[in-house]
A and B are shown apart, each in its own frame.
Chain A
Amino acid sequence: KQEVTQIPAALSVPEGENLVLNCSFTDSAIYNLQWFRQDPGKGLTSLLLIQSSQREQTSGRLNASLDKSSGRSTLYIAASQPGDSATYLCAVRLETSYDKVIFGPGTSLSVIP
């Protein structure tokens, strides 16, 4: 059974710092991995999607990497801003059931001005 974990559960950093969020999954048979952002009381906003054949994706200050064989992904946020404060979730889409997505528990990020 696929399990997705995220470390750390919570992170607090001063503004301007670069940071890395981690996501691990137990079964490497995935189609893709997606990173989401969730603001309190709101829905999820897609940030980046990495296909299983890719190693990384970039969007602005965000860079996501994928090491499928080791079951790991990282989300790198450069020059963090207070507006980056949110919960970040990763999710994997399974090969065995391509319409099923398994979510991690999320990392709660606070960027202190």
Chain B
Amino acid sequence: DVKVTQSSRYLVKRTGEKVFLECVQDMDHENMFWYRQDPGLGLRLIYFSYDVKMKEKGDIPEGYSVSREKKERFSLILESASTNQTSMYLCASSLLQAPNEKLFFGSGTQLSVL
């Protein structure tokens, strides 16, 4: 079975802390994505990556950065966490040169910033 694994299901952090959210996929996918999901706002794309060391801004990149040092791992970094970054964070992956391939999601990380 294909798998996208997010390292934490729940995280509680304090304002100003540096936060790392990790995502690993075992499908050899080129594309990896980070979304956040908020009630009433749906899923919004933060960043995506189509190759190692490559990254592209999504719709709401402010306050976030990403790292893709290995193909299977895509990290989301909150440099200085703020309360408005309390959200459900979802990682996903897909093949690059196959636009009709499915998007696979991890189980999500519920982050609370106090």
**Which of B42, B104, B108 sits near A46, CB closer than 8 Å?**
B104
Shortest CB-to-CB span from A43 to chain B, Å, is: 4
Give the size range of A's interface with the partner.
20 to 34
- A/B pair count, beta carbons within 8 Å: 53
B88 contacts across to A, CB distance below 8 A: 41
Give bound CA distance, A105 to B40, whole Å. 8
Compute how far the CA of A101 lies from the CA of B107 in the bound complex, rounded to whole angstroms. 18
Size of chain B's interface in residues, with CB distance under 8 A?
25
A100 within 8 A of B: yes
Measured between C-beta atoms, what is the minimum distance from B85 to chain A in Å?
18
Q: Which residue of A lies closest to B40 (CB)?
A: A105
Query: Other CB < 8 Å A-B pairs besides A44-B92, A103-B42, 13 of them?
Result: A31-B100, A34-B102, A43-B6, A43-B105, A43-B107, A44-B105, A46-B102, A52-B100, A91-B103, A99-B48, A99-B96, A103-B43, A105-B42
Q: Does the CB pair A101–B110 fall under 8 Å?
A: no
Known: A99-B48, A99-B50, A106-B42. A43 touches B103 (CB 8 A): no
Is A49 located at the chain interface by the 8 A CB criterion?
yes
**B31 within 8 A of partner (CB):** yes
A42 in complex: contacting residue of B43, B102, B107, CB < 8 Å: B107
Are B100 and A43 in contact, with the CB atoms below 8 A? no
Name the residue of chain B whose CB is nearest to the CB of A101: B103
| Cβ–Cβ < 8 Å partners of A100 in chain B | 45, 48
Q: Is A51 an interface residue (CB 8 A)?
A: yes
The 3 closest A-B pairs by CB, nearest first: A31-B99, A43-B105, A44-B105
